[in-house]
Amino acid sequence: MVPAHAAARVAPSPVSIPTVSGPVTGGNGSPTLVGTSFDLGRFGYVAEEYLMEGTARAYTSSKPLSADGRWKVTPASTAPYTTRLIVYRPTDPKRFNGTAVVEWLNVTTGSDTSVEWVTTHNELIRDGFAWVGVSAQAVGVQGGASVLGVASGGLKAADPARYGTLMHPGDSYSYDIFSQAGAAVRRSRTPSPMGPLRVQRVLGLGQSQSASRLVTYIDAVQPLAHVYDGFLVHSRFGTGAPLSEDPLPTIAPLQPTRFRTDLDVPVLDLETETDLLAAPISGAVGYFPARQPDNPRLRVWEIAGSAHADAYTGRLGYTDVGDGRAEPVVLGTAAGLPGSPACGGQLVNSGMQYAIAMAAISWLDRWTRDRATPSHAPQLSITAGPPVMINRDANGNALGGIRTPVVDSPTATVRGDGAAPSSICRLFGSTVPFDASKLSSLYPTHADFVRKFDQATTRAVKAGFMLAPEAEKLRAAAAQLAIGT
């Protein structure tokens, strides 16, 4: 595609450059992180951990934080901190594509989780990105109660010998810590977390609670910090996170909170069905009231048949090395393949969110290189209610949104909601496989199913919402399914 505009170059940043030390060793012998479990060395990557320390700022606002996100904040108090960075980077600098992605590690369960790395790692490795995970929030470092009420001791309790010196002053300071992490990645010092790599672009990523943090970061801090060249905001809800919180004065955004329309860098917002509905976490509001149209620096992608978490992000992605073995399990619920996770007796969502997320990070990278802009995506078809409801076809699958083969050549109803009993399970949506009679009526022969699946996959690739390597693996997996035979 021909670029519709040139993405803005990041202005000089006033952010402090922190002190970085490492690589860290000792303790239990490896970083404490919920993430992929395979050996990155097999793919020409090195995994290292560094300590990062400095003085972080909190922010304040003399006016209430308005719904339009066009906030003007100022630095307030400062506090010392010590946290950690985890770095996955190509061993050979020639393999590096020039882009480092910095993920705000998710602490919803009380432990640092690399959700975006798990979701998109095959594309990141394939295209030579560097990935950096930042322990930006206090629960991940010091411990405490997560938003789900899960008690955690954080990194300090998980491995005192390795992390005993870590210190986090509270989440009011998390935004400047995230800025300083990006600055440490961008600016070369010795030791550098990037080793010999020369970083040309730095992208900020975050999912779920971390995405809410990024909403506030983009609206409040990015206009001051100018550290990041673009953002992937994945599965945000209807409001941003507090700008300041206890023990400092609480400054929370209004509901809903939209992205400011004078963005200085590209933002790609990736939303699932779950996210648009009333959020299943206590106190959170669904994204629907915060919906806003695309603009020259904003794309919003809403994915039909997707859930906030799913079979891939909850299980399959941790061991997926891109060899095509995960795709038959994603597609195989109707064929009774083993390994499809359940939650409260209900099969969790087996949509293709991960494939769309990989296309999203690829597009965001291309966008910040001034080469191309992502496709505009159709919105999911919604009845505003109340309650907010997604309109569905005769098979129970969503209408509108980004289309994938699981909704356009379906073998099951895949939804972002479900009957799972606990709050964490409600995030995983549901999959209800079609019975044999329905499958036979839809696909009299195996060739009928394969043809329709191939057509749906081709449409997704041509529309710019799926990358060719994922499409190839999905086609191969669909051909293995015993549907129409």
**C-alpha span between 50 and 31 (Å, rounded):** 10
What is the helix (H) or strand (E) element at residue 453, kind and residue range?
A: helix 446-462
**Tell me, what amino acid is at 277?**
L
Taking alpha carbons only, the member of 158, 164, 139, 161 closest to residue 149 is: 139
Q: Evaluate if residue 429 carries a pLDDT over 50.
A: yes
- If you average pLDDT over residues 129-147, what whole number do you get? 91
Q: Which residue has the tokens 């159709």?
A: 378
Q: Evaluate if residue 2 carries a pLDDT over 50.
A: no
The pLDDT, as a whole number, for residue 335 is: 57
Q: Evaluate if residue 259 carries a pLDDT over 70.
A: yes
- If you average pLDDT over residues 460-485, what whole number do you get? 95
The CA R_g of the chain, rounded to the nearest whole Å, is: 22
- If you average pLDDT over residues 132-147, what whole number do you get? 90
**C-alpha span between 466 and 124 (Å, rounded):** 15
Strands 130-134 and 74-90: antiparallel
State whether residue 251 is helix, strand or coil.
strand
pLDDT tens track for 85-98: 999 999 999 999 99
**C-alpha span between 286 and 367 (Å, rounded):** 28
Q: Evaluate if residue 139 carries a pLDDT over 60.
A: yes
The pLDDT, as a whole number, for residue 5 is: 38
State whether residue 266 is helix, strand or coil.
coil
**C-alpha span between 256 and 209 (Å, rounded):** 15
The pLDDT, as a whole number, for residue 180 is: 97
- If you average pLDDT over residues 294-321, what whole number do you get? 95
Q: What are phi and psi for residue 446, nearest 5 degrees?
A: -60, -35
- If you average pLDDT over residues 305-322, what whole number do you get? 94
- If you average pLDDT over residues 453-482, what whole number do you get? 97
**Tell me, what amino acid is at 229?**
D
pLDDT band of residue 385 (cuts 50, 70, 90) is: confident
Predicted structure pTM score: 0.94
- If you average pLDDT over residues 199-213, what whole number do you get? 97
pLDDT tens track for 174-189: 999 999 999 999 986 7
pLDDT tens track for 116-133: 999 999 999 999 999 999
The pLDDT, as a whole number, for residue 93 is: 96
Q: What six digits make up the tokens of 158?
A: 């998980």
Q: What are phi and psi for residue 408, nearest 5 degrees?
A: -100, -15
Q: What six digits make up the tokens of 451?
A: 């043809």
- If you average pLDDT over residues 264-278, what whole number do you get? 94
The pLDDT, as a whole number, for residue 339 is: 55
**C-alpha span between 112 and 474 (Å, rounded):** 30
pLDDT band of residue 333 (cuts 50, 70, 90) is: low
The pLDDT, as a whole number, for residue 451 is: 97
Asked if residues 303 and 351 have their Cβ atoms less than 8 Å apart, the reply is yes
The pLDDT, as a whole number, for residue 4 is: 38
pLDDT tens track for 12-24: 568 999 999 999 9
DSSP letter at 444 equals S
Asked if residues 368 and 230 have their Cβ atoms less than 8 Å apart, the reply is yes
Share the mean pLDDT of the chain.
91
Q: How many helices (H) and strands (E) does the chain have?
A: 16, 17
Q: What six digits make up the tokens of 438?
A: 């329905």
The CA-atom distances, in angstroms, between 454 and each of 137, 220, 295, 312 are 43, 44, 32, 21
pLDDT tens track for 23-75: 999 999 999 999 999 999 999 999 999 999 999 999 999 999 999 999 999 99
Strands 267-272 and 230-234: parallel
Asked if residues 15 and 41 have their Cβ atoms less than 8 Å apart, the reply is no
Q: Which residue has the tokens 């997707």?
A: 306
- If you average pLDDT over residues 415-427, what whole number do you get? 78
DSSP 185-212: HHS--SS-TTTT----EEEEEEETHHHH
